[in-house]
Amino acid sequence: MRVLVLTFALAALRTAHADPTAQAAQLHLERGVTAFRAGEFERAQRELLTAHELAPDRPNPYRWLALTAIQLGDCARALVDIEGFLTRVPATDPRVEEMTRWKNLCARTGVLRVDSTPPRASLRIDGALVGTTPYQSLSMRAGTHTLRAEIAGSAASRSIVVEPGRELAVHLALPPPRTPIPQRWWFWPAIGTAALAIIGVSAFVATRSDVSVLPPITCDPAGCAP
């Protein structure tokens, strides 16, 4: 019992004399881990970044920042944090295997950025709708992909190759959308001209309608007469 009391007393004494900055870093780290486990990854990232800024040499914030970046789809950032963790722990650390596995997975991705003219076109990658332009993926699987942007009946497609660890920027220029025929400048003038032509033909027929009521012409050896 005396040993247990002495242990708690020593722990309390160490806490009382601990570096306030280190205590704050630990607090933000714990908050970040809690947010991560709750699926609140953006909040987790903010807390973990604060912990890292307060204690930049501690490896654990790097690990959790890497895991959070992966959950947010940012392999480019995750690779930086994974490397920061691996360089601060011994090779025998049991977490090295986990971080090395994520490093190998993220190393198979690249960064893809897509914009278009005009902007805000819907974008499909390999047939799946992913959003609108401008668009970016920080964890795009390396390999060949097909892009297709669409807006107002106009579309543009392109096949691309994403290389691992590289960034690819793509611009898609969509042709001007085709104006519906009733909205084209010549449509209504043409309709008016056609209508006038029809009216003119009708008037001509009307003026010639008296021909049908003339007496028939009959002919005999003396000549032809009505």
Class in CATH terms, 18-106 = mainly alpha
- With a CB cutoff of 8 Å and minimum separation 6, the contacts of 159 are 144, 145, 146, 147
The confidence score (pLDDT) of residue 222 equals 55
Q: Which fold has domain 109-173?
A: Immunoglobulin-like (2.60.40)
Residue 134 CA, chain-centre distance (Å), reads 7
Count CB neighbours of 108 within 10 A. Answer: 14
Give bridge partners of residue 131 from the DSSP assignment: 123
Question: Helices (DSSP H) in 55-185: which residue ranges?
Answer: 59-71, 75-86, 96-106
The confidence score (pLDDT) of residue 194 equals 62
Q: Which two tokens stand for residue 199?
A: 């009216």
Q: Where are the domains of the chain?
A: 18-106, 109-173
SS (H, E, C) 33-63: HHHHHCCCHHHHHHHHHHHHHHCCCCHHHHH
The confidence score (pLDDT) of residue 191 equals 67
- With a CB cutoff of 8 Å and minimum separation 6, the contacts of 162 are 109, 110, 112, 140, 141, 142, 143, 145, 168
Tell me the pTM.
0.64
DSSP letter assigned to residue 81: H
201 backbone φψ class: left, alpha, beta (φ>0; ψ -120 to 50): alpha
The confidence score (pLDDT) of residue 3 equals 46
Residue 156 CA, chain-centre distance (Å), reads 16
The confidence score (pLDDT) of residue 49 equals 97
The confidence score (pLDDT) of residue 213 equals 45
Distance set, CA 100 to CA 29, 56, 80, 105, 141 (Å): 22, 21, 12, 9, 18
The confidence score (pLDDT) of residue 7 equals 52
Please report, in tens digits, the pLDDT of each residue of the chain (226 residues total): 444 434 544 454 454 456 899 999 999 999 999 999 999 999 999 999 999 999 999 999 999 999 999 999 999 999 999 999 999 999 999 999 999 999 999 999 999 999 999 999 999 999 999 999 999 999 999 999 999 999 998 999 999 999 998 999 999 999 987 666 566 555 667 666 666 656 655 555 455 544 444 455 455 555 555 4
Beta strands in 62-191 (DSSP E): 109-117, 122-125, 128-132, 135-141, 143-151, 154-162, 167-173
